[in-house]
Structure 1
Amino acid sequence: MKAFLLALLTAFIWGVVPFLEKIGLSSVEPTTAYLVRCSGILIGMVIALSYTPDFSSFGKMGIQSISFLVLAGILAGFVAQVVFYKALKIGEISRIIPVTSCYPLFTFILGWVFLGEEVTLSKVMGMLLILGGLFLLK
């Protein structure tokens, strides 16, 4: 139950943030807006680091873990965010967010193909709902 509530809180925050970003993008180019947004990330990191005195887990990380996490940071934290800002700047928030929120579809496919994750009826139904929602937005 705790994991579900944390996920729900995450969804709420992720729902509020694009609204703030759309307003913030009104008078600035997407790349500039992203660079300003990164200051918030930096402030958050400084706060988190001040409450995390034990860094022993860094020494336990292998090169593969580090490489994948850095690549994920570049893709999600920079490339996708700048592309998202460009879409958000020129499009309607009510159309952009549902499309960008279909990422579980791609995660499902990658998990199934490369990680051998099980395909269940509930997962397929969830993916069909996502596809149906995208079709309705068109």
Structure 2
Amino acid sequence: MEAFFLALLTAFIWGFVPFLEKIGLSSVEPTAAYLVRCSGIFLGIGILIAFTPQFPSFAKMGIKSVFFLVLAGMLAGVVAQLVFYKALKTGEISRIIPVTSCYPLFSFLLGWIFLGEEITVSKIAGMLFILGGILLLK
């Protein structure tokens, strides 16, 4: 049950942040806004490092893990965020957020195609629900 509440809290935070970003983007170009937003990330990392003991798992990381995590950070933290800001700056928050939140559809497809993950009735139902929501917003 704890995992569910943590996921729900995450969803709330991820839902609240675009509201703040939309307001922050009102008079700023998306790339400049993104660079300012990154200062919040650096501040958060500084606090995390200050209050977290040593990170022994860093020494255990292989080159493959490092490569894929750095690539994921660049794609999600830079490329997708800049594209998202451009969409959020020009579109309605109530239309942009549901579309950008359909990423589980792509994760499902990639997991099935490349990782051999199982297709279940509940997964298909979830994907159809997501697709239906996107089509309603279009």
Instruction: Give the structure 2 partner of residue 109 of structure 1.
Output: 109
Instruction: Give the structure 2 partner of residue 54 of structure 1.
Output: 54
Kindly tell me the number of residue pairs found equivalent between the two proteins. 138
- Cα distance per residue 1:55-103 (max 9 Å; x no partner): 2110000000000000000000000000000000000000000100000
Indicate the SS of the match to 1:27.
coil
Instruction: Give the structure 2 partner of residue 135 of structure 1.
Output: 135
Instruction: Give the structure 1 partner of residue 119 of structure 2.
Output: 119
Instruction: Give the structure 2 partner of residue 36 of structure 1.
Output: 36
Instruction: Give the structure 1 partner of residue 83 of structure 2.
Output: 83
Residue 45 of structure 1 and its aligned partner are, at CA, apart by: 0.2
CA distance in 2, matches of 1:30, 1:55: 34
Gaps of 5+ in 1: none
Gaps of 5+ in 2: none
Counterpart residue identity of residue 14, structure 1: W
Instruction: Give the structure 2 partner of residue 72 of structure 1.
Output: 72
CA distance in 2, matches of 1:52, 1:113: 38
Indicate the SS of the match to 1:124.
helix
Range 120-129 or range 52-61, more displaced: 52-61
Instruction: Give the structure 1 partner of residue 13 of structure 2.
Output: 13
Instruction: Give the structure 2 partner of residue 99 of structure 1.
Output: 99
Instruction: Give the structure 2 partner of residue 23 of structure 1.
Output: 23
Percent of aligned pairs with the same amino acid: 77
Normalization by structure 2: what TM-score? 0.99
Residue 53 of structure 1 and its aligned partner are, at CA, apart by: 2.1
Normalization by structure 1: what TM-score? 0.99
